[in-house]
Structure 1
């Protein structure tokens, strides 16, 4: 008497609940040996080769290549060999897969499977569907030729650039978007498309900061170093990140990881002749205020002279933009996050504003803080606490020294 045993998608570990069927190694109605590979499944974590738990014949498959199998749901049926001395009982989960043991076998086959179908993890496929992209048109750069999240970003940027016909008039002047301008345009488009922004604003009294900066400025003048407010803002941001490290992070959507960065690599948005650039002051968490003053002065001079190296403009983990240095009376902004960071701060110039102090209206030096945050990582209450801590350091700046 024949006995049908249904094999379900096993527990592959690490919270994986689904996987894409890439290839059926064995065809229907073919004989299976115990532990013989039957099907290749790709999850967000790995590509695995699933073996037959018992000998028999493959009589039914529940998913075609490209379809998503669910953990614990039927994957295929085996007609068990009559020679089995003890027939197994059906269980909810028949096998636990040891990833390190099976992944090596799958790697040799993954590049040639799926008969020309674009390879990608389920998470990557979802992102492509949300953007309306055809994965078969995207060149994969993964180790086995699979399409990655980075491939989707590049393809999306290029497709967006070509999607809308330009508004053209006979006397228009054409300027090519190249170099830094092109790079910044791509990063801003990526940021707005992939990061759900939300903004938070706070006004802070800066009377003590103005006095402290004047004192430091006079001392630094002896060494012919010009001291702006930016080193103080940078130092305050680093001290705040030590209390709230989540704000010094970035999300990796392809594998659903949140990467919290240890170094405080603070990007400073600067307007140059070549366009808007983000110069990066690295490992600020290891610097004193005096060291930040000198390092920032050197970085700014390189930017003004267009002598920034590629290393000066990469690996930032959070960014500050000081629109106050541009003049004018702008009070607030909604800055675009420097992709793939979690936050950006834009500050106004320090100016006199009426504040209520002990029941009386007084003119005080104030600084306006405009934040943008990645809402996938940061909630409103967290943003308020983070901004308040930063504002406290601006209002009472003694810890900056």
Structure 2
């Protein structure tokens, strides 16, 4: 008797999830509670466990597919006929195998989450001639702000690397050839007659690039794409989809906003010779109005490609600054008491291997401020027109690393001591600079600090991070003349502050009130400890 495992609701009332990776294949014997797949749920990757024991006879979808809750995922102990058909589905590279050599296998660029359309091969971990086992790491791919290893789906000898390190590769393009002769694969279209399943695939993707929905009528799009559409007031059902498996991408939304793509109800069929996916990739990587290249470069000029992290940061910063109407309040606070307090406890901290910096004090004061002013620690669900108030403060700390900007997160910062926060800041900064940050360390930010004080910066206009609604720009402490309580002009120590907030949620009075409370805390560490 066969059993069908359907897509479960794995939390937060999700309606759909992406099958990021299959952990089983047709023919595997699975026990109850064995992990069978990795599912992308909003920003988190979660393993789902098998509710049955048995032999896997069919995988209903490929990795990278968005599946609605309740749709079938896996069949156990089905008929031999089903096994045969499922086995064919489990070999997604059959077209390329015949193109290169009889026994060759082609590993294509996988979708490793967030509905990505392309990724950067940051580093190859294998070379031609290496013998690779299934699940061995073969490359490092830049995905969003994180570097992730991708694992080999096959065992065999590497006979060709299709691209060099540093190349941007679209999802579905070939990466590695195993057990082949190093020949260039023939175009997939020329081999379509030899593969029954491949024949209808090309016309569906090229000629019908309409927005694809699941059986429950929802558009196939990652949460990040839905959020981007909501804040731009775009109805995803009217957007022409060009992504893998009919997914709608951010590039598709941008095309719709610019008017370069027709709405779904007036789409003209695209000729098969112009793949829609390629168009999406070009749109994503090329600005609408690119600045013209210089006609004649000056002596000594040279060009370098952006590294993967810098390209991602560039895209994200552009989107954030375009979508959010920011307001920045510039202020300063006299912190002589803070300087004395740090000097007093710096040596005590050092004996515990803790580097006590001003940033740790600022982080603690900002966490307390965000906890006291809930609007500063909120996000907005624009689709439902609701404000999401976060129970805990996820404090993002912007870190400048050799490859670019990272924002690791101190979770539940409001419940941690200054020493604990100082330790986490140091550990996260080291991980960012060494490239060892984990996905969980980059998720859950609710408010952020950007620190230019260490570079002797003063006031600036930081850009809001992710789904946060506020970011504090921390400047340096400057010795300046001030008027004390006795009316005398003395030398004071002023810390420069720049608070940027999302004006769609936070008004100027609220922003300044929160900043005033923060100043009260940071000006007197003793009071801060009493208050929190």
TM-score, length basis structure 1: 0.62
Within the candidate set 332, 335, 341, 2:462 is matched to 335
Counterparts of 1:126 and 1:236, CA distance in 2 = 34
Does structure 1 residue 396 correspond to structure 2 residue 497?
no
Shift of 1:344: 0.5
Alpha carbons of 1:160 and 1:183: their partners in 2 closer, same or farther (altered >3 Å)?
closer
Task: State which drifts further: 249-258 or 352-361.
Answer: 249-258
Q: For 1:45-77, what per-residue CA distance to the aligned partner results, in whole angstroms no more than 9, with x for missing partners?
A: xxxxxxxxxxxxxxxxxxxxxxxxxxxxxxxxx
Whole-angstrom distance in 2 between the partners of 1:227 and 1:242: 23
Deviations 1:273-307 (A, max 9, x none): 01122121111122112211222221122223332
Mapping of 1:23-172 within 5 angstroms?
110=217, 124=230, 127-128=233-234, 135-139=238-242, 152=253, 158-159=283-284, 161-169=286-294, 171=297
Mapped partners of 1:246, 1:141: distance in 2: 38
CA distances 1:153-203 after superposition (whole Å, capped 9, x unpaired)? 798795584312343235453333343212211221111111110111111
Q: SS at the partner of 1:348?
A: strand
Compute the displacement of 1:338 (Å). 0.9
Give the deviation of 1:267 after TM superposition: 0.8
Q: Give the equivalent residue in structure 2 for 1:222.
A: 351
Deviation at 1:241, TM superposition (A): 1.4
Greater Rg, structure 1 or structure 2?
1
Paired position in structure 2 for 1:69: none
Q: Is 1:357 paired with 2:463?
A: no
Matched residue, 1:303: 432
Report the number of matched residues: 281
**CA offset at residue 334 of structure 1?**
1.1
* Contiguous gaps of at least 5 residues in structure 2: 1-213, 220-225, 258-280
Q: Cα gap change, 1:246/1:126 in structure 2, threshold over 3 Å: closer, same or farther?
A: closer
Is residue 288 of structure 1 aligned with residue 423 of structure 2? no
Residue of structure 2 in register with 1:234 after alignment: 363
Instruction: Give the Cα–Cα distance (whole angstroms) in 1 for the partners of residues 376 and 323 of structure 2.
Output: 17
Q: Counterparts of 1:257 and 1:149 in 2: how far apart (Å)?
A: 23
- Label 1:165 to 1:148 Cα distance change in 2 as closer, same or farther (>3 A): closer
Q: Give deviations 1:82-126, integer Å, cap 9, x for gaps.
A: xxxxxxxxxxxxxxxxxxxxxxxxx957479xxxxxxx99x9597
Indicate whether 1:182 and 2:307 are aligned. no
If asked which structure has higher relative contact order (CA below 8 Å, sep 6+), I would say 1
- The RMSD of aligned alpha carbons is 3.4
1:321-346 residue CA offsets vs partner (Å, 9 max, x unmatched): 1111113xx32111111132100000
* Aligned with 1:193 (options 319, 322, 336): 322
Q: Choose from 503, 509, 514 the match for 1:375.
A: 503
Give the secondary-structure state (helix, strand or coil) at the position aligned to 1:339.
coil
Structure 2: distance between partners of 1:278 and 1:154: 29
Unpaired segments ≥5 residues, structure 1: 1-106, 113-119
Distance 1:266 1:153, change over 3 A: farther
Is residue 348 of structure 1 aligned with residue 441 of structure 2? no
User: How does the TM-score come out when normalised to structure 2?
Assistant: 0.48
Helix, strand or coil at the partner of 1:241: helix
> In 1, distance between residues paired with 2:289 and 2:368?
44
Q: Return the offset for 1:224.
A: 3.0
